[in-house]
Chain A
Amino acid sequence: MDKTAPIIGVVDLAKTYPGDIPTLALRGVTFEVARGEFVAIMGRSGSGKSTLLHQLNLIDTPTSGTVHIDGLDTATLSDSHKTLFRLDHLGFIFQEYALIVELNALENVFLPAMALGTDSAQYKKRAAELLNIVGLGERLEHYPNELSGGEQQRVAIARALINSPKIVFADEPTANLDTASAKIVLDLFTKLKTEFGQTIIMVTHEPDDKQYVDRVIRLSDGLIEGIETGGN
């Protein structure tokens, strides 16, 4: 694998939602993301940023165009292979309440590793390490309802990293957090990028988040309006 090659390659990506009046959510988007890059997808509500994220992280299927991840054309994957690919190679951070309420912090983090078939002693150790990295080393046994919104989001970050993903996708991860908690989460992303070389794609509507990222892909009406350099 060519380590200098882009980890994500998107060519002429389009997504139309069917209906009486079809919605053209993406209308031919082309860009690349380099390995270890922290990219923000920004735009107004309805600009297509979440739709783009769902095509990139294989939750949804594009109407046309291609998405290559680490050289693999994702259109060639069956649904079950996409599921396994997501588990093995992609990490997810959702906007809110994305933890399993019956599992404590440690269990939430190691669940994807357990599903992948990793050795139990190994995944428990790594989950604890990751929770330590996100600053929750003392709250391993706490359940989601015993954690604040910011803490829950940090557990979700640790979970996204458990299988050492090639890319972490974050969908407005700070939208429901107070300013202090949002800063902790964004600082954590920066740390992951700088210390571990983690590729991160983040959808955000917060203009201030630009300072944390390498590049901003700005969408408008399903098209790339512009690509800007971030503040990182």
Chain B
Amino acid sequence: MNTIQTACFIAYKSIVRGRKGTLALMLIILSLSFFNMMFIPGVFSGLLDTITGLLTNTSTSDIVVTPQQSPVPKEFIENEAQLQAQIRTIPGVLGTTRIYLTAGSIAYDKNKDGVYKTVSAQIIGIDPTQVDDALSLKQYLVAGQFLDDSDTDQVLLPAALAGGYGLPVPSDLGGAKVGDKVNMVYGNGVERQYTVKGIISITFGTALSNTYVTSHEAESVLSASDQASEILVKVDSSTHPLSYYKARIQSLAPNLKVQMYTELLAVIQSVLDAFTLIAAIVSAISVLVATVTLFVMIYINAVAKRRQIGILKAIGIKENIIVYSYVLQALFYVLCGVALGLMIVFLIVEPLLHAYPIELPFGPLLLTFSFNLAAESVAAFFIAGFFAGIIPARIVAREDILKAIWG
């Protein structure tokens, strides 16, 4: 007990009476290292959340049910209304919707002179009222109005294909606007003319070419009824993990393919893995910088007090007391560095990015921090601090008393 008490006392006095400039420099380096350790993974995590959010809001929701793959692949899910009703009875399921997927092309005569520009598109049939239960398409509407359930000759064009929105696609229609007529040719050869009811701007991945009609219209084109290409399911993932819902849905429809969005977004997952690796490297470098800084500072401090350490040992102060006093100093510096780093992250940078987000093509970049990341960063810093304190202190404190005092 008196060992810890004496070590704390020596450490406290060393900090209070130590050089303030050195202390400030050390705290700046430690806090910036800690900030770096939190910020980079936070950026990557925020980036991934933005992309994932965009895709789950516009394409996949949380769980995707697709038609039978084997033994005989089928184009559509049958009796989709009954299946949706069954899925909605699962506790934690927030909503469902069905969609029809087909490919096609869109042609537009901008100048009404018989010269058409044609682009390929992914055509999606939606139930405009029910789609809100699983997707959030309406928030991406940038012009005109959303579809109504009764619409048959109306279409929502993607901004990227409509043209004039400065989005990165190889070709577009040259500036189709709300109210304009476009001709669409479906993959099965059916040709229809539609009025552009709205422009929807989803600016990432395959969703760039998503063109929406109503399910009724899609059914009439595809000669389908009570069927679906996909059923999208929104769930409360805070009560159960996604895998739980997947298993429950699969038990309702054993022949259908049920996938979580994380399985569908394998590319995103590989990006996540790469980001995680980069973040881990950055974090390791941050910890290394902090460790080396602390080590050097503690070592220089201990070497400068070599004679004093010798005198302490000579008068009977145990080596452990001296070593612990340096470890406690190092841990105090880490504590202050971490506290300052957390303040920089949560009181300065995060509110600043919230108020003035960095706009990316697919949405605003926000910082995302998890408790685990913060806890791991803090733990890593304290472990680094412990070793950066104990090693140099031991090196100096183990020196022979006579050598330490008289050189």
Seen from chain A, the residues whose Cβ lies within 8 Å of a Cβ on chain B are: 54, 57, 59-60, 80, 83-88, 90, 92, 94, 97-98, 100-103, 107, 111-112, 114-117, 143, 159-160
Contacts and interface: CB of A to CB of B under 8 A. Distances in A.
Given A59-B401, A94-B311, A159-B315, A102 B13 contact: yes
Given A92-B315, A112-B315, 17 more contacts: A60-B401, A87-B315, A90-B316, A94-B311, A97-B307, A98-B311, A100-B10, A100-B13, A102-B13, A102-B14, A111-B9, A112-B316, A114-B5, A115-B317, A115-B318, A117-B1, A159-B315
11 contacts: A80-B318, A88-B316, A90-B316, A100-B312, A101-B308, A102-B18, A103-B13, A107-B13, A114-B9, A159-B315, A160-B315
Contacts of B10: 100, 102, 111
Given A101-B17, A114-B2, A117-B2, A86 B308 contact: no
A60 B404 CA distance: 13
Given A87-B316, A102-B18, A103-B13, A115 B321 contact: yes
A176 to B, nearest CB: 14
Interface in B114-166: none
B402 interface: yes
B314 A86 contact: yes
A92 B310 CA distance: 12
B5 A54 contact: no
Contacts of A88: 316
Nearest to A120: B5
B312 A84 contact: no
Contacts of B308: 100-101
Given A60-B402, A100-B308, A102-B14, A111 B317 contact: yes
B313 interface: yes
Interface string B2-21: 11011001100110111000
A136 B308 CA distance: 22
Contacts of B317: 83, 87, 111-112, 115
B5 A83 contact: no
B405 interface: yes
Contacts of A100: 10, 13, 308, 311-312
Contacts of A103: 13
Contacts of B312: 100
B14 A114 contact: no
Given A116-B2, A117-B2, A84 B316 contact: yes
B325 to A, nearest CB: 10
Contacts of A80: 318
Given A101-B17, A102-B13, A102-B14, A92 B314 contact: yes
B267 to A, nearest CB: 59
Contact of A83 (B2, B311, B316): B316
A88 B318 CA distance: 12
A163 to B, nearest CB: 8
A86 B18 contact: no
A59 B315 contact: no
B314 A59 contact: yes
Contacts of A114: 2, 5-6, 9
Contacts of B13: 100, 102-103, 107
B402 A111 contact: no
* Residue picked from A57, A83, A112, A115, most chain B C-beta under 10 Å: A115
Nearest to B13: A102
Residue of B307, B308, B319 with highest tally of chain A CB at under 10 A:
B308
B17 to A, nearest CB: 4
Nearest to B315: A92
Contacts of B405: 94
Nearest to A107: B13
A107 B308 CA distance: 15
B22 to A, nearest CB: 13
B328 to A, nearest CB: 14
Contacts of B311: 94, 98, 100
A87 B319 CA distance: 12
A59 to B, nearest CB: 5
A171 to B, nearest CB: 10
B332 to A, nearest CB: 14
Given A98-B311, A116-B2, A83 B14 contact: no
Interface string B343-379: 0000000000000000000000000000000000000
A143 B10 CA distance: 14
Nearest to A103: B13
Contacts of B315: 86-87, 92, 112, 159-160
Given A86-B314, A114-B9, A115-B321, A102 B17 contact: yes
A103 B317 CA distance: 15
User: What 8 A-B pairs come out closest when comparing CB atoms?
Assistant: A87-B316, A117-B2, A102-B17, A86-B316, A102-B13, A115-B6, A92-B315, A59-B401
A91 B49 CA distance: 67
A160 B307 CA distance: 18
Contacts of B313: 83
Contact of B6 (A60, A86, A101, A111): A111
B316 A115 contact: yes
Interface in B292-328: 307-308, 311-319, 321
A83 B315 CA distance: 8
Contacts of B5: 114
